[in-house]
Amino acid sequence: MGSVFGVGGALLVPVLLATGAPLLDSATTLGVAAYISLIPMFLGYVLFGYGLTRLSPSTATTVTLLEPAVAALLAVLVVGERLAPLGWVGLVLIGLVLVVLALAPDRSRSPTESR
């Protein structure tokens, strides 16, 4: 996770240099950028990564795939974004898949463990 974000950040430095002048214009915009970078993004992903290390691989995969759906719902509910009808269909499908996963029998135990 650190490598992905480190390389991604390094690749975005030229974009910042080319288009970041308004971001660096005042102390207020710089402060907002620093806050957004450190609190919701850095801290959020550190905690997300920490949580993923405590889960089984199948649960971690499910949670990781669910993250964009939760982000879309939060954008609609908190920020007031509008979601296209196809986006709503996708969210419903993700919800149905999660119900199927929740109701599926646990096959991770061997037959001798269940006795």
Give every CB contact of residue 98 below 8 A, 6+ residues apart in sequence.
62, 66
112/34: higher pLDDT: 34
Q: What is the pLDDT of residue 78?
A: 94
pLDDT digits (tens, 9 = 90+) for 61-95: 888 888 889 999 999 999 999 999 999 999 999 98
pTM above 0.75, yes or no: no
CB 14 within 8 A of CB 7: no
CB 77 within 8 A of CB 95: no
pLDDT digits (tens, 9 = 90+) for 9-45: 899 999 988 998 888 888 999 899 889 988 988 898 8
> Rounded to an integer, what distance in angstroms lies between the CA atom of residue 1 and that of residue 89?
30
115 pLDDT above the threshold of 70? no
Q: What is the pLDDT of residue 113?
A: 56
